Structure 1
Amino acid sequence: MYIEVEKGVHLFVQDIDPGPGSKPIFFVHGWPLNHKMFQYQFNVLPQYGFRCISMDIRGNGQSDKPWGGYSYNRLADDLAVVLDALKLENIVLLGFSIGGAITIRYMSRYGGRHVAKLALVDAVSPAFVKSPNSPYGVPKEQATTLINQMYDNLPKFLDDVSLTFFNRNLGAATLNWFAELGRESASYALIKLLQEAAREDVTDDLSKINVPTAIFHGVHDQLIPFKSGELTNQKIKGSQLYPLYNSGHGLPIDQSHEFNKLLMQFAK
């Protein structure tokens, strides 16, 4: 289905509902991907009574690809419109990577409306770029280099990122699949999203989260270091940190079986 989030901009939403009484989990994907990255969750969780709803962030996957609107605030507003339109209540809101940052901003900006629990997965938090609030981020110069590589040769850039995304050898087919998901996005959307991540900081948003929160983070994450996950854990009152010891940044794929078990335990 498609939901209009502002005039002329429609987002693709997938809703896998196993039936009455199912518990809703709403998935927000990361960069440079789309909702298909959660296939190893969608294949399993509905069997255990979980309704899996996901959307493609604007510019990505099957959603519309406008030139503008890639700020964290606008993306949080998009999420709010979708949740309102679906009339969802008491959901588990799950955000992966930059999707984690978007869900954090949503929780702060909208007071956690519709949300009973929050799951952050390798979230871009507190910030992508190193700062006093986020000392484990990448240097600003490195972020600029990454953005410039997308301008110069996006296909090669996506292939290179795939090599650092996972912690184990998943084979050429999986790496090609990852890169192909990136190629379903508008190139300018990928650039703008990374530019936004490079300038944003969600530190002030973290203290406004007041629902049970689980932080799942790959210990070997090369993009958002595990120490950033530990820092996020410290800044969200009462949150629980779940280290995934054999995962890099792509833990829903690196350790899908372990992650699914932990997520279902948290979501029930």
Structure 2
Amino acid sequence: MGHYIEVEPNVKVFVEDIGEGKPLIFIHGWPVSHKMFEYQQTELPKHGYRFIGIDLRGYGKSDAPWSGYDYDTMASDVHAVVTKLELQDAALAGFSMGGPIAIRYLANHKDNPISQLILLGAAAPSFTQREEYPYGLEKSGVDDIISNLKKDRPGMLKDFGGMFFHQDMSDAFNEWFLHLGLTGTPHATIHSAEALRDEDGRVDLASVHVPTLILHGKHDEICPFDFTSVLKEGIAESKLVAFENSGHGLVFEETEKVNQEILKFLQT
């Protein structure tokens, strides 16, 4: 079942809503859509969970206004979805850019019904280097990405996909994954890259007061595994599971292990 939910006047986001039971809300990464969680959507409802996949504004089937691609606005959109669906005792999962957005949601909206947090290859707490945080890309590296998006978006996203995986994926899979990225609206893709470059979510970590599962690929070239040490230190009740055979795309490279770890965590 799909819902269109108005998150602000004249802006609606699309939400896939499958199964029954404890709600599991999934927030996708840059620059794809909720469809990246295909192998969670087909598995987790079998175990008595309700899969809720949000297409962030600008992506998938959601509206794409010119502005609002900062983490505060994206987190507000998540809050609008959670409120409209009247969710209770929900788990929130964020992949890559979806990770810091999920954390910002918990920081900004204290009246939330989230009882567990899952971070998958999260671009958190900061995607780029800054003072006392030597991890990730330099801001100039994201400037290069933005410049290439403006010149040759398909070429840039194909190169990005090439960095995404540690394992060899099939040609058909790589074509599908590129297409998923190309469904993102061009201006949303650029503005979200600017948010990834500029946002610093380190202060948000202290606002996470729920049990948190951190899943991260050891060979991640996009969100380095070093991020997890900062997350683990900053989130009081957190558990880290390393994925030895994955890059950034752990949900595709070690799908069965991802699903098993999520189910084990939800049942604790």
So what's the TM-score if we normalise by structure 2?
0.97
Q: In structure 2, what is the equivalent of residue 71 of structure 1?
A: 70
- Cα deviation 1:147-167 (Å, max 9, x = unaligned): 111011001011111111111
Residues in 1 aligned to 2:39 and 2:221: alpha-carbon distance in whole angstroms: 22
For structure 2, which runs of at least 5 residues remain unmatched after alignment?
none
1:65–1:13 distance in 2 versus 1, CA, 3 Å: same
Residue 178, structure 1, aligned to residue 177, structure 2 = yes
2:117 equivalent to 1:118:
yes
Q: Is 1:255 matched with 2:254?
A: yes
CA–CA distance in structure 1, aligned partners of residues 50 and 253 of structure 2: 23
State how 1:88-237 maps to structure 2 within 5 Å: 88-111=87-110, 113-237=112-236
SS at match of 2:29: coil
Distance 1:90 1:23 in 2: 7
Q: Deviations over 1:236-258 (max 9, x none)?
A: 11211111111111111111000
Give me the whole-angstrom Cα distance separating, in 2, the residues matched to 1:120 and 1:111. 19
Offset at residue 135 of structure 1 (A):
1.4
DSSP 3-state at the match of 1:119: strand
Please say if residues 126 and 134 of structure 1, whose CA atoms lie closer than 8 Å, have aligned partners that are also in contact: no
Aligned AA for 2:257?
Answer: E
Change (3 A) 1:23 1:133: farther
Cα–Cα, structure 1 residues 263 and 177, in superposed 2: closer, same or farther, change >3 Å?
A: same
Against the structure 1 CA distance between its residues 112 and 217, is the aligned structure 2 distance closer, same or farther, given a 3 Å change threshold? farther
**Cα separation, 2, equivalents of 1:251 and 1:132:** 29
For 2:27 and 2:111, locate their aligned partners in 1 and report how far apart those are by CA, in whole Å. Answer: 15
Residue 8 to residue 133, structure 1, CA distance change in 2 (3 Å): farther
Structure 2 distance, partners of 1:261, 1:95, is 17
The 1:133/1:83 distance shift into structure 2, 3 A limit, reads farther
What letter matches 1:11 in structure 2? V
Question: Among the aligned pairs, what percent are the same residue?
Answer: 38
Change (3 A) 1:16 1:185: same
For residues 211-240 of structure 1, the C-alpha deviation after alignment (integer angstroms, 9 at most, x for no partner) is: 001111111100010011221111111211
CA distance in 2, matches of 1:70, 1:55: 15
Aligned with 1:83: secondary structure?
helix
* CA drift at 1:171: 1.4
- Structure 1 regions of 5+ residues with no counterpart? none
Residues 26 and 98 of structure 1: is their aligned pair in 2 closer, same or farther, counting only changes over 3 Å? same
Q: Which residue of structure 2 lines up, in the alignment, with residue 2 of structure 1?
A: 4
Q: Is the CA contact 1:112–1:209 (under 8 Å) kept in the aligned structure 2?
A: no
Provide the TM-score with structure 1 as the length reference: 0.97
In 1, the alpha carbon distance for the partners of 2:111 and 2:263 equals: 21
Deviations 1:113-154 (A, max 9, x none): 110000011111121111124311211211111111101100
AA of the residue aligned to 1:220: H
Give the C-alpha shift of residue 267 in structure 1: 1.3
**Letter paired with 1:85:** K
CA distance in 2, matches of 1:215, 1:158: 26
Show the counterpart of 1:14: 16
Partner residue, 1:241: 240
Task: For residues 10-36 of structure 1, give each alpha carbon's deviation from its aligned partner in whole angstroms, at most 9, with x where no partner exists.
Answer: 10000001x4xx221100000011000
Runs (4+) of structure 1 exceeding 6 A deviation are none
Q: Which residue of 1 aligns with 2:33?
A: 34
